[in-house]
Chain A
Amino acid sequence: EDQVTQSPEALRLQEGESSSLNCSYTVSGLRGLFWYRQDPGKGPEFLFTLYSAGEEKEKERLKATLTKKESFLHITAPKPEDSATYLCAVLRNTDKLIFGTGTRLQVFP
């Protein structure tokens, strides 16, 4: 059965304290791995898509990487405005995304 697991469930960081969020997956026929950001009271907002092991994508303080079993979202020198829930999702050989339950990130000044 396809499975997407994110860890940790919650993460508290001091401003400037770099860290990584993990998304491990068990899925056959992976076509892509997606990262989304979700702010309270809003819908998820697309960040990155990764298609193959070894691929990396960067956007401001965020960098996403992908292996054959997991993806990491690295946050470098985070700021309070990076506080949000970060969701990963996998795409199989259909048009359906399977989402993990997310990591709630809080960055304190």
Chain B
Amino acid sequence: DAGVIQSPRHEVTEMGQEVTLRCKPISGHDYLFWYRQTMMRGLELLIYFNNNVPIDDSGMPEDRFSAKMPNASFSTLKIQPSEPRDSAVYFCASSPRSSGNIQYFGAGTRLSVL
């Protein structure tokens, strides 16, 4: 398996623009997680899905952030409008129910909002 695939790897945008990050989880995994990583706050969980259904979005910083999982093989994280403080590395991870909660991470998307 190719692992968790995220795109794009790097995104540079201007403040106020819409940003869409994409994730393809490992086939057969039941859970999908979106994280944000910064030097100051480390790795923070934003939202997670179980069988394509959002379970907990308490980590989503504000209404500018939204996430969808239209099917088992695709998820998006959207920021609209983007702000400079959204600059961070965003990770997607997936996990099979049988793994004992081991999460497998993608390579991340480095977002810079100017």
Contacts and interface: CB of A to CB of B under 8 A. Distances in A.
Interface in A28-68: 31-32, 34, 41-46, 49
Given A43-B4, A94-B56, A95-B55, A101 B42 contact: yes
- The residue among A43, A45, A87 with the most chain B CB atoms within 10 A of its own CB is A43
Contacts, number: 51
A108 interface: no
A89 B105 CA distance: 14
Interface string A70-92: 00000000000000000101010
- The residue among B43, B95, B104 with the most chain A CB atoms within 10 A of its own CB is B43
A43 B45 CA distance: 14
Contacts of A94: 56
B107 A44 contact: no
A42 B45 contact: no
Interface string B39-62: 001111100101000011000000
Contacts of B70: none
Interface of B is mostly: strand
A44 B105 contact: yes
A96 interface: yes
Contacts of B91: 43-44
B108 interface: yes
- The residue among B4, B100, B107 with the most chain A CB atoms within 10 A of its own CB is B100
Interface of B: 4, 31, 41-45, 48, 50, 55-56, 91, 93, 95, 100-108
Interface of A: 31-32, 34, 41-46, 49, 87, 89, 91, 94-102
Given A49-B101, A100-B42, 19 more contacts: A42-B108, A43-B4, A43-B108, A44-B91, A45-B105, A49-B100, A87-B43, A89-B43, A94-B56, A95-B31, A95-B50, A95-B55, A95-B101, A96-B45, A96-B48, A97-B45, A97-B103, A98-B45, A99-B42
15 contacts: A34-B101, A41-B107, A41-B108, A43-B4, A46-B103, A49-B100, A49-B101, A87-B43, A95-B55, A96-B45, A96-B48, A97-B45, A99-B43, A101-B42, A102-B42
